[in-house]
Amino acid sequence: MSGDPLFARVATALANRYVVERELGHGGMATVYLARDVALGRAVAIKVLPPTTREYLGGERFTRETQIAAQLSHPHIVPLFEAGEAEGILFYVMGYVEGESLQDRLAREGALPLEESVRLIAEVADALAYAHEHGVIHRDIKPANVLLAGGHALVADFGIAKPFGEAAGGGGGESLTGTGVAVGTAEYMSPEQATGDKHLDARSDVYALAALLYEMLTSEPPFTGPTVQAVIARILTEAPRPIRTIRPAVPPHVEAAVLQGLAKVAADRPPSARAFVDLLTRPTAERPVRPGRRRAWIVLGTLAAVAVPVAAAVLYFAGRHARPVGMLLVPAGDYLVGGTAGRDTGRVHLNAFYIDSTEVTAGAYAPFVRSGGAPSPYQRQRATDWPVTGVLWAEAQQFCAWRLPGGRLPTEDEWEAAARGSGGRRYPWGDTWAPSRANVAGATDTLAPVGSFPLGASWVHAVDLIGNAWEWTATPAGSGRHVIKGGAFNTQQPNATVANRVPASDDRRQLWNTGFRCARGPQ
């Protein structure tokens, strides 16, 4: 470790009290070292925060907030002994647990036995219930923060605590967890946490507890994806796959309890960690849900967290709004766009929106024509599952508005965000060309039914963004033209990128290889 500059800094800064021995692990938000407490002769784990966190929090505030977590004393909570700042380094000292994390166990064994899973979850729930009774929520429950020792579970990373009222303007400055930033680990975040809602309570931890048990029983979290934003999009809009379709031996009441814990709306979940365990262990119990009084909660779990830009508004629609059929949610965030002639590469911030998962088909367009809409000159020549083409720009706009409230064509930036994600990939599936993933020149030499190339799906699972048919956007290109994107079945591969753009005349019926897909904002 002598070559590690951070190790040397930590060892020197804490030499009066601790002998730092070796690194236990590190991530983007912290590094953990094994050390020996010289005064008490015990092994401890020292977690060191990166300089960016120090700049954000400040040493005095960090110490004040960790003092709250240090007051928690429970047999299933890893104790927090000390926190402070030394020579510009923010650190806190925890008990050292000889064992392994639940993350390591799952990686090694996959799904765990049912009885053991429920028992371990009950221990985690007991720790959380104790914290909740003391006005504290963890907000980063995940396999890495559950340690296993002697056959029992201990919850770690009760690290930074913040009186929640400060975020509302109580003089505490900006909050690490204020509205507009989701803090936590994406796969285990509740919908309200994923959207940056600052009014969280115990039910957010209940969601994470259910997600944890789901993974223990199936070996996978309820929602996964190639990026944080893709995971959040699925959390906000999709139902988790029923556990018994993956592991049929799981009792129906256990599956029902987990799925209730994963409810999109907090009010639909068990109201407490103990109530969640009751559902797991007492299938016939019927307990009335009593609304509790509102209280000030303390938010924890910011140390090992990732910060994800999201919309300030709640963008999930369960209970109050339905996700438009056939559409996918693209979360609010910053997206890389451009990178072709006439359009420099740059980042844009977009509000959340929905976009069709496929190009509009001839079959979907037909009812619009029957209601008085303009027909496509190629309508009779197209199978119902082929994209409708030859539609003028204004007619495409009219169809989208006719089909659903607020319906419209996507802007070029929105189209690219749905195709590229925040990383600005060259193709919807990544940065390397794969001929089997798109209907471009040399693939079929004609239009194909939408969705014929599922391996070419984008990060939000939209298909045919490259190839098949060009697609109208709402972005003007001057002189009665609008930008079309994506290429068509006769586009040569070098031009088949998500950045490529072509100005097309709004009133040319000859665009026989140009179709469209619709978009809309959250209603």
Q: Enumerate the active-site residues.
A: 140
Residue 316 buriedness (CB in 10 A; 0-12 / 13-18 / 19+): buried
Q: Supply the DSSP string of 458-523, one letter for each residue.
A: -TT----SSBSSEEEEEEE-SSSEEEEES--TT--GGG-STT-EEEEETT-TT-TTEE---EE---
Element housing 309 (H / E): strand 306-309
Q: For residue 48, give the nearest of 95, 10, 3 by alpha carbon.
A: 10
State the Cα–Cα distance between residues 106 and 113, nearest whole angstrom.
11
- For 125-145, give one letter per residue: b (16+ CB within 10 A) or e: bbbbbbbbeeebbbbbbbbbb
Nearest to 516 by CA among 364, 340, 335: 364
Determine the number of helices (DSSP H) and then strands (DSSP E) in the chain: 14, 22
Burial class (CB in 10 A: 0-12, 13-18, 19+), 39: exposed
DSSP H helical ranges for 84-201: 102-109, 114-133, 191-194
d(CA 179, CA 196): 5
Q: What is the DSSP letter of 340?
A: B
How far apart, in whole angstroms, are the C-alpha atoms of residue 54 and residue 50?
7
Torsion over CA: 486, 489, 493, 494 (sign): negative
In a 3-state reduction of DSSP, which class is residue 395? Answer: helix
Lookup: tokens for 17: 């009290």
Cβ atoms of residues 149 and 99 within 8 Å: yes
**Distance (Å) of CA 100 to CA 31, 73, 107, 144, 491:** 17, 21, 11, 9, 53
